[in-house]
Amino acid sequence: MSISANITEFKKQIGPVDVELIAVSKTQSIEKIQEAYDAGHRIFGENQVQEMVDKYEHLPKDIEWHLIGHLQSNKVKYIAPFVKLIHSVDSLKLLHEINKQALKNNRVIDCLLQIYIADEETKYGLDYEEAIELLRSDEFAELKNVRIVGIMGIATNTNNQKQIKEEFYELATLFKGLKLAYFRKDEAFKEISMGMSADYKIAIEQGSTMIRIGSAIFGERTYFKIKD
């Protein structure tokens, strides 16, 4: 199927529930992203700073760019002027830097705390205690140019549906706990970013509000470099 047909199909499947579709365009060409754009899609996710900046420069300016991959503090400045949402905040140090760069750009940057839910060594993220510690800290209270709007997690890469379901359930449960404890009156804190091509259906069942879909929209990733 074409990219536009895939997007239409996803939107149909999501149906009336309030779930945002992030088209994960990492490694995909400008032409393919333009095709999705021409089909009416505006929300794209990238996992590398340089690639996102290159694409931002080459594509229409009403695209919402979401950074979904691990972010190094020294690269925040490149995306701070335009990034719509950072899904992958995994330390107070990083949040400090995002705040600093947001201030320089005279804006507030929306962020999600990335929570470690997978049964794997390689994934980034905070564990529950670390997330709570961050939210309770005095330093966090002073950061006025970042806004935490929810949490994000990546399930274990496994065929075990039950395990994936449990991991997403845990993330949704943590979300509810954090909401009650720290964001009770904050309407902006409402996002649970969970679900990828292989597990988005389970994620939606468990309360996802943002699914991050790459290969099911664009096909398998072929690694390439943008020429300048």
Ligand X SMILES: *Cc1c(COP(=O)(O)O)cnc(C)c1O
List residues binding ligand X (CB under 6 A): 24, 26, 47, 68-69, 154, 196-198, 212-216
Question: What is the distance of C-alpha 187 from the center of its chain?
Answer: 19
In the bound state with ligand X, the residue whose beta carbon lies nearer, of 44 and 175, is 44
Would you tell me how many other CB atoms lie within 10 Å of the CB of residue 184? 9
Q: Token digits for 21?
A: 């579709």
CB 141, min distance to ligand X, A: 28
Residue pair 171/192 in contact by the 8 Å Cβ criterion: yes
In this complex, which beta carbon is closest to ligand X, that of residue 69 or of residue 150? 69
Per-position b or e across 139-152, b if 16+ CB within 10 A of its CB: ebeebebbebbbbb
Nearer to ligand X, 145 or 156 (CB): 156
- Bridge-partner residues for 24, per DSSP? 45
CA nearest neighbour of 167 among 205, 218, 139 = 205
Strand partners, 65: 44
Residue whose Cβ sits closest to ligand X? 214
* Closer Cβ to ligand X, 143 or 168, answer by number: 168
Q: Min. distance of Cβ 49 from ligand X in angstroms? A: 13
Could you tell me the smallest distance in angstroms from the CB atom of residue 103 to ligand X?
A: 27
Residue with tokens 């794997």: 120
Closer by beta carbon to ligand X, 103 or else 198: 198
> What would the two tokens of residue 113 be?
């705390």
Question: Residue 104 CB, nearest distance to ligand X (Å)?
Answer: 27
Smallest gap, in angstroms, from Cβ of residue 79 to ligand X? Answer: 15
Which residues partner with 85 through β-bridges? 66, 110
